[in-house]
Structure 1
Amino acid sequence: MRRRFLRLATISVLCVGVFAAPVPVFGTEHEVLQGETDLFADRRAESVENQNLVGLWDEPEDYMHLLYSLPPTRSRLIDRIDESGEMSGYDIFYFSNDPLLSRYINAAILANPGVWESEHRWRAAMERIPQVSALPDPMVNVTQFIDEIETRVGPQETILSLSQKFPWFGKLDAKAEMALRDALAAVEQYQARIRELVASVKRSYYDLAYLDAGIRITEQDKGLLEHFADIAQKRYETGSGIQQAVIKIQAEITRDSDRLLMLRQQRESMVARLNTLMNNPPQHPIPVLAEMVVPALEFDLDRLYALGKANQQELRAAKYQIEKHDQQIRLAKKEYFPDFTVGFNYTVVDDREDALGKLNPPEGNGDNASAVVLGFNIPLWEGKLMSGVREAKELKYASERAFHRLENEMEFSVRDGVIRAETTRDQLDLYEKVLIPQAEQALESTQSAYSTGTLNALDLIDSERFLLNVRVAHARLVADYMIALADIERAIGTAFPAPPVDMHEIRRTNEQQSAEPETN
């Protein structure tokens, strides 16, 4: 019994050792997280010279450098907010000729929950790579006989088995490549979420700027009408005018008041929308926006198409999906080959207790037995294997069609944005060079004629309304033009109309600045 107890204790220790061997010893949760942070920091430091940002690199050769270089782009920018709240860095991803708009976009990128959600998703996708590329867990089996099997050298008491499965050559590599493509596609979706957020902030900002311009124009018009009402009242009091003119002008003042109420209500809604994008409370105040400066541009469709094909994040994600399904086809073909299992069995054998065994113990009495096990599965059902290959091919065909669909949608979005921008620009030229000057001259002429009694109040109101409508329409066109530029930028996936930036030079400059000692 003592020997049996010692053997069982030895087996237990062996089992504990086998189970514990592949498991690292962790400290506290903080120590684990700190260790992961240090690991990422080391990997990022190694890839500083070769790292590129998604959407601005050409055929990256080392995907892992890309994955480990992307995370710090956001965290380092958070650290670069100065005391005034200004932040530089993200403006390389978009065009803006308005410092306040740049601040709002940067704030949205840093705080928007949707962007953080996408970031966590691509980080989670990256963690799939080591999971699918690792060998399956080894198996340990312990068999304790209830009714011991008697052999020539003694009864078998316990069998300890240890086995490891080895997939066919290249299967784990194919799975790792598939997971890598999924991770890279998730990175592109993360970048696409940022681009969509930038476009949404711009649209809301430009609409808000239009509403502020509309409020300014309407308030100016209301002040002008109040001036006209004073003139009409004086003419009525002196007998040179009629009361109907005073009433008509006062009615127009009331219409302006109603318009102001509507515009202010729309402004509150747009402020709430913009604050939501920045993850601020909806009622957070936003100052009145200044008039927008319209950049003078020439649109080159071929260049824009080329930029879109090279940079649009949805297209890049679709390319990675095609590459993923290439690897899936490769994996499906390897399923025709068997997976191997290598094992080791250790059998505990007790001494013979029968009379003959005690009288004449056989050679090897009570010696434990060991054996090596080699096994493999037989890929017998060809129909299943062929279906796996066909499935992978169909998925690749679907991904290729999705890529072409996205490419067509990109070209349409670029073309649509350019048409809108060019048409709006022509309208702006017409308004600025013809309509607004004509409306101002007409109002001045009508006002002079009304003062002399040549024209009545209705003619004055018509001229005033025409100028008001022209100025409001011009403000709307300015906003529409800027929104069209934002839509073009969103379609091509990179800053527009700013020229491409040298990402390596920007990173080297940032590192040099961070390495310089602080001076008081």
Structure 2
Amino acid sequence: MKNIKITICVLFVFTFHFIEAQQLQSFIEDAKRNNPEIQGYLLRHNIAEEKINEANWIPNTEFSAGYFVSEPETRTGAQRARFSARQKLPWFGAITARENYASAMADAEYVEIAIAKRKLTLSVSQSYYRLYTIKAKQKVLNENIRLLKTYEKLALTSVEVGKASVVDVLRLQIRQNELQQQVEVLDEAYLGEQITFNKLLNREGNVVVNILEELSLPKEDAVYDSNRLPFNPELLKYDKLYESVVQSEVLNKSEHNPMIGFGLDYVPVSERPDLSFSDNGKDILMPMISVSIPVFNKKYDSKSKQNELKQLEITSQKDNRLNVLESAFAKAISRRNQARIQYNMQVKNIKQTNDAEEILIKGYEAEAINFNELLDIQELGLKFKINQISAISAYYEESAIVNYLIAE
């Protein structure tokens, strides 16, 4: 029978955490679908992808026409006009280099989407846990108000039999007023946080958010591998930026190559009426080829130097960001562990407070009850319960930070 009870308890805890995770994940998915910031990043990525198509271009074809006002005479006749067509083509591989550079920039924009989604997930999770904290504190405060009302009735009865004074009753009523004030303040805090939460999901601020009534800490802490930190999108972004600089240098070198030009000139020629020969009035057709050579290389040399400096800058930025993330990871793990220690201590304190309270109540039948001591114990118990709720919230908020840092 004992084993069955243990099994039922384990299943309840597992089911509880599963429901909590499922509910929060549902909110997160809604936020990712509807959040305007995410949609903005998606549009930026679409624009960057479209630039790949833009990169596949060649210079405009040039057409020109001219009319000889004074017709030049040649052996075969007078030239009346000139029609020309010109087309320049980039060196082999130049278009591919432009496309690769645009693709690298699009990849960098895509990583920004992943970063934005992670930050949104963290914000939604933290806001959810803040809502839980407010609700849980209100629940504890209301329970204590009801308990104080019971003590008030007990005090009134004690006044009638001479075991307490009216001052004890007034003190209990004042304490109830203080707790009721805290409940009302938390109501306002909840409404403000509810608006924040709903706006993350891009919906009306007054939409009611269903929060679980109770959260508990897992039996064991999840083990996180800090070796996954380098795979955080914030760091992968620098890899993509570095690759874009590499592709920028490839593009720079390709633009340093010559450009080939092809052309065709057509000149209509009038016949000479005074002569008769085989090529009389024969039109002129002249194919042409040209090569554009970048003789002055300072522009391209400077661009190469800039790219080299950018690579060094990106590497430094990535190393610095890794240090920041490693520090944040260590702090989050430490604070999560601190929250568990605080939680465990509050559990012990609450049990001892309940025992002390029970002893005071049991002494009521034997002698006059000490309402001052009872009120002190009640305040201690409330303090420990509030601290316990804060510890639970801190545990899950720090866990959310760890997930932001190393989750796949």
TM-score for the superposition, normalised by structure 2: 0.89
Alignment partner of 2:264: what SS? Answer: strand
Cα 1:246–1:137 shift into 2, 3 Å: same
The reply on whether 1:307 has 2:221 as its aligned counterpart is no
How many angstroms does 1:370 deviate by?
2.1
Indicate which of 379, 389, 408 corresponds to 2:323: 408
1:386 matched to 2:301? The reply is: yes
Which structure 2 segments of 5+ residues have no match? 1-17
**In 2 relative to 1, CA 468–417 (structure 1 residues): closer, same or farther, beyond 3 Å?**
same
| Contact 1:138–1:164, Cα closer than 8 Å, also in 2 | yes
Structure 1 residue 456 displacement after superposition: 2.5
SS of the aligned residue for 1:488 comes to helix
Is the Cα contact below 8 Å between 2:48 and 2:102 reproduced in 1? yes
Residue number in structure 2 paired with 1:144: 66
Following the alignment from structure 2 to structure 1, what is the Cα–Cα distance between the partners of residues 47 and 19? Answer: 32
Secondary structure of 1:127's counterpart equals: helix
State the 1:420 CA deviation.
Answer: 1.1
1:372 to 287, 294, 297: 287
Q: Secondary structure at the match of 2:66?
A: strand
Q: Any idea what SS the aligned residue of 2:69 has?
A: strand
Give the Cα separation in 2 of the matches to 1:234 and 1:164.
106
The answer as to whether partners of 1:148 and 1:155 remain within 8 angstroms in 2 is no
CA deviation vs aligned residue, 1:69-124 (integer Å, no higher than 9, x gap): xxxxxxxxxxxxxxxxxxxxxxxxxx984322122111111111111111111121
Q: Which residues of 2 match residues 397-476 of structure 1 at below 5 A?
A: 397-432=312-347, 434-449=348-363, 452-476=366-390
* Shift in CA distance, 199/358, structure 1 to aligned 2, threshold 3 Å: same
Offset at 1:261? 0.6
Q: Pick one of 339, 343, 356 that aligns with 2:259.
A: 339
- Whether the aligned pair in 1 keeps the contact of 2:141 and 2:179 (CA below 8 Å) is yes
> Using a 3 Å threshold, how does the CA distance of structure 1 residues 231 and 385 change in structure 2: closer, same or farther?
same
Spell out the pairing of 1:478-517 with structure 2 (5 A cutoff): 478-494=392-408
2:197 is equivalent to residue 282 of structure 1: no
Q: Which position in structure 2 is the counterpart of 1:103?
A: 26
Preserved contact between residue 258 and residue 294 of structure 2 (Cα < 8 Å): yes
* Higher deviation after alignment, 109-118 or 407-416: 407-416
Using a 3 Å threshold, how does the CA distance of structure 1 residues 106 and 285 change in structure 2: closer, same or farther?
same
SS in 1 for 2:156: helix
Q: Secondary structure at the match of 1:358?
A: coil
CA 1:256–1:119 in 2, change beyond 3 Å: closer, same or farther? Answer: same
The letter for the 2-side match of 1:421 is R
Aligned residue for 1:346, secondary structure, equals strand
* Residue type at the aligned position of 1:190: I
Q: Percent identity?
A: 20
TM-score with structure 1 setting the length = 0.71
Residues 159 and 165, structure 2, Cα contact 8 Å, conserved in 1 = yes
CA distance in 2, matches of 1:480, 1:442: 28
Q: Are 1:299 and 1:418, in contact at CA under 8 Å, matched by a contact in 2?
A: no
CA contact (8 A) 2:53 2:99 kept: yes
1:169 aligns with 2:101: no
Kept in 2: contact 1:105–1:201 (CA 8 A): yes
Equivalents in 2 of 1:160, 1:360: separation in Å? 26
Residue 142 of structure 1 aligns to a residue whose secondary structure is strand
Question: Does residue 251 of structure 2 align to residue 326 of structure 1?
Answer: no
CA-based RMSD of the aligned residues comes to: 2.2
Q: SS of 2:72's equivalent?
A: strand
- 1:197 correspondence with 2:120: yes
User: Which is bigger in relative contact order (C-alpha 8 A, separation at least 6)?
Assistant: 2
Question: How far 1:146 moved relative to its partner?
Answer: 6.0
Inter-partner Cα distance in structure 2 for 1:162 and 1:386: 33
Rounded to whole Å, the distance in 1 between the matches of 2:101 and 2:315 is 16
Q: Deviations over 1:373-398 (max 9, x none)?
A: 22232322233222111011111111
Aligned length: 390
1:338 counterpart letter in structure 2: P
Q: In 1, Cα distance between the equivalents of 2:82 and 2:373?
A: 108
- Distance across 2 between alignment mates of 1:450 and 1:343: 112
Q: State how far apart, in whole Å, the 2-side matches of 1:375 and 1:297 are.
A: 75
Larger radius of gyration: 2
Letter in 2 for 1:319: D
| Corresponding position of 2:275 | 360
Which blocks of at least 5 consecutive residues in structure 1 are unaligned? 1-94, 495-520
Measure how far apart 1:362 and its partner are. Answer: 5.6
CA distance in 1, matches of 2:37, 2:22: 24
Please list, as runs of the form range in 1=range in 2, the aligned pairs for 1:30-45 lying within 5 A after superposition.
Answer: none
Which runs of structure 2 are paired with 1:179-258 in the superposition (5 Å)? 179-258=102-181
Q: How does 1:5-84 map to 2 (within 5 A)?
A: none
- Residue 477 of structure 1 is matched in structure 2 by 391
Partner SS for 2:282: coil
Distance change (3 Å), C-alpha of 1:226 and 1:146: farther
User: Aligned equivalents of 1:408 and 1:491: distance in 2?
Assistant: 12
Deviation at 1:139, TM superposition (A): 1.4
CA gap 1:455/1:327 in 2 versus in 1, 3 angstroms: same
1:229/1:368 CA distance change after superposition, 3 Å: farther
Between the aligned partners of 2:19 and 2:310, the Cα distance in structure 1 is 40
Aligned twin of 2:4: none
Give the direction of change, closer, same or farther, for the CA distance of 1:361–1:431 in structure 2 (3 Å limit). Answer: farther
The counterpart of 1:295, out of the listed 207, 213, 218, is 218
The alpha carbon displacement at 1:298 in A equals: 4.2
Q: Secondary structure at the match of 1:331?
A: helix
* Secondary structure class of the residue paired with 2:163: coil
Partner of 1:351: 270
Specify the SS of the correspondent of 2:213.
coil
Query: 2-side partners of 1:382 and 1:129: how far apart?
Result: 27
Paired position in structure 2 for 1:135: 57
Give the Cα–Cα distance (whole angstroms) in 1 for the partners of residues 57 and 103 of structure 2: 17
- CA drift at 1:359: 2.1
CA distance in 1, matches of 2:366, 2:73: 132
**Deviation at residue 222 of structure 1 after TM alignment:** 0.6
